Amino acid sequence: MRQRPTDAGSGDVVARGRRTVGGIAAAVLVLAGYGVADAADVVPGVLTTDPPPAAAEPFPDVSLPGGDLVAPTVEGADAGAPAPTPAGLEALATEFADDYRRTGSFGLVVADAITGETLLDHDGATPRLPASSLKVLTAAAALDALGADRVLTTSAVQPAEGRVVLVGAGDVLLGAGESDPHEVVGRAGLADLAARTAAALAEQGTTSVQVDVDDSLFTGAVHHPDWQGIDLTFVMPVQALAVEAGRIGNAFVDDPALEAGAAFADALGEHGIEVVGNVGRRTVDPEAEVLGEVESATIGEIVRHTLKVSDNSVAEVLARLVAVERGATPDFAGATSAVRQQIAELGVDVSGVQIADGSGLSESNRVPAAVLVDVLRTAGGPDGASLHGLLPGMPVSGLDGTLADRLTGDAAGRVRAKTGTLIRAISLTGTVVTADGRPLLLSVLASDLEVGTALQARLAVDSLVRSLAACGCR
């Protein structure tokens, strides 16, 4: 028996009935119900003898002290603002080095976002565990290889009479309900795909089908061997097809592609098509007849979502899509190699980069802080047009994403950065606008942390970045 997804998603349907009251019913209301309604005083002035209430007085004007309300503003970047001096930044680096909350070692690179000049480099060439700052590389590679305007098309095809196959193209943010043009998650809805498929089947006179899925776009293991224990609660099995990144409630399903197939089969049933048998797997010919299609959000929007919420599952999928685009094997080895090569082709020296996965969950990843700043420098420069969505797509301090409740107060709105947290590593990679208005590029990688000290190391990193945002550092 097919499993029915337990999450209704956005496809809830509200049935609306209609009642018609004839002349006889109206007469009964007037003759028999009048006394009850009048006694309850439910319609004053209509079904009672009481006069209707007086018209409401207009609401009085209210004057607030202190003049007009004005929303607080954050000064933007100023190309003419003075830049920090290396000596001023060294003082901050020394404070960070002496911060008792940070154990282990660290790499710290700060560069001028206007000139590109490196202003501070503390052990920035040493490869370190980047945690989710690795997603900066995956996102940059995806934007460059795929293009920000690319969409992913999920289709239903008919390889043979009486059989429909749901073909995944890498959209793992499908919705179970109708397509939502205003959201990234659920931009493509399986309910819409089922409606189009059912209409095409009806034209053929087909009323009963077997449903399968084709998720053969990706190959290899669905979990990296480095992911163990609690890691598996932060990422779905990596497949080319899923509803809402394979998550139901607070857990990931064991087989996202089959779960998506079951949701599609249920939607077909709601459109009058009988689905027989269990949902299975089948690889279809690329020339099979297409019955219906739905399109994802753009790659640019998907990258923004990935960076904002640090979506491990989507990051892994983006890495595999880079491999597909480059003609590499779309497994962990092929995807990470493709990401590394794509970054190298941007002109970034990747000689110290070792990538094991696309999300940063693996503790085998190693990236120098200087490389991350080089990618940011490229994204903000004239030769990085394909990456121009990278910096604006990062979480904003005190506002959204994984920085919504960090670097608040005076630092709110001044930091756009990718966060990173593992048991033995804390990172932050992005941009900071100083109190003078000078935009800076930053990557700080605190690694080799003593187990149990990650939270206090994060507080130390936030103190460093808060000081950088608040100072002129000259």
Model confidence at 458: pLDDT above 80: yes
Judgement on whether residues 366 and 388 belong to the same structural domain of the protein:
yes
Predicted confidence (pLDDT) per residue in 128-172, tens digit = 999 999 999 999 999 999 999 999 999 999 999 999 999 999 999
Q: Which CATH number covers residue 338?
A: 3.40.710.10
Choose between 168 and 29: higher pLDDT: 168
Residues 6+ apart with CB under 8 A from 132: 310, 312, 359, 360, 418, 419, 420, 421, 427
Judgement on whether residues 350 and 274 belong to the same structural domain of the protein:
no
Judgement on whether residues 184 and 253 belong to the same structural domain of the protein:
yes
Judgement on whether residues 110 and 181 belong to the same structural domain of the protein:
no
Q: What is the pLDDT of residue 262?
A: 97
- Residue 305's pLDDT band, with cuts at 50, 70 and 90, is very high
User: H/E element holding 16?
Assistant: none
Model confidence at 18: pLDDT above 90: no
Judgement on whether residues 267 and 365 belong to the same structural domain of the protein:
no
Q: What is the pLDDT of residue 52?
A: 62
Model confidence at 222: pLDDT above 90: yes
Judgement on whether residues 228 and 264 belong to the same structural domain of the protein:
yes
Predicted confidence (pLDDT) per residue in 63-86, tens digit = 555 555 554 555 667 778 888 999
Judgement on whether residues 205 and 132 belong to the same structural domain of the protein:
no
Domain that holds residue 234: 151-298
Judgement on whether residues 281 and 319 belong to the same structural domain of the protein:
no
Amino acid sitting at position 272: G
Q: pTM (2 decimals)?
A: 0.84
pLDDT cut 70: percent of the chain above it: 84
Amino acid sitting at position 42: V
Judgement on whether residues 118 and 251 belong to the same structural domain of the protein:
no
27 in any annotated domain: no
Predicted confidence (pLDDT) per residue in 243-295, tens digit = 999 999 889 999 999 999 999 999 999 999 999 999 999 999 999 999 999 99
User: Which of helix, strand or coil describes residue 322?
Assistant: helix
Q: What is the pLDDT of residue 249?
A: 87
Judgement on whether residues 330 and 416 belong to the same structural domain of the protein:
yes
Model confidence at 40: pLDDT above 50: no
Inter-helix orientation angle 332-345/312-326, to 10°: 70
Question: What is the arithmetic mean of pLDDT over 199-207?
Answer: 96
Residue ending a domain, choose from 252, 282, 298: 298
Domains in the chain, number = 2
Choose between 332 and 22: higher pLDDT: 332
Residue ending a domain, choose from 250, 271, 298: 298
Give the largest CA-CA distance in the chain: 93
User: Which of helix, strand or coil describes residue 414?
Assistant: coil
46 in any annotated domain: no
Q: Which CATH number covers residue 172?
A: 3.50.80.20
Model confidence at 416: pLDDT above 90: yes
Q: What is the pLDDT of residue 125?
A: 98
d(CA 90, CA 93): 5
Residue 193 and residue 168 in contact, taking contact as beta carbons nearer than 8 Å: no
Q: Which of 17-26, 252-261, 403-412 has the lowest mean pLDDT?
A: 17-26
186 in any annotated domain: yes
Residue 348 and residue 374 in contact, taking contact as beta carbons nearer than 8 Å: yes
Q: Which of 73, 103, 91, 77 is nearest to 441 (CA)?
A: 77
8 in any annotated domain: no
pLDDT cut 90: percent of the chain above it: 80
Residue ending a domain, choose from 266, 298, 330: 298
Judgement on whether residues 213 and 249 belong to the same structural domain of the protein:
yes
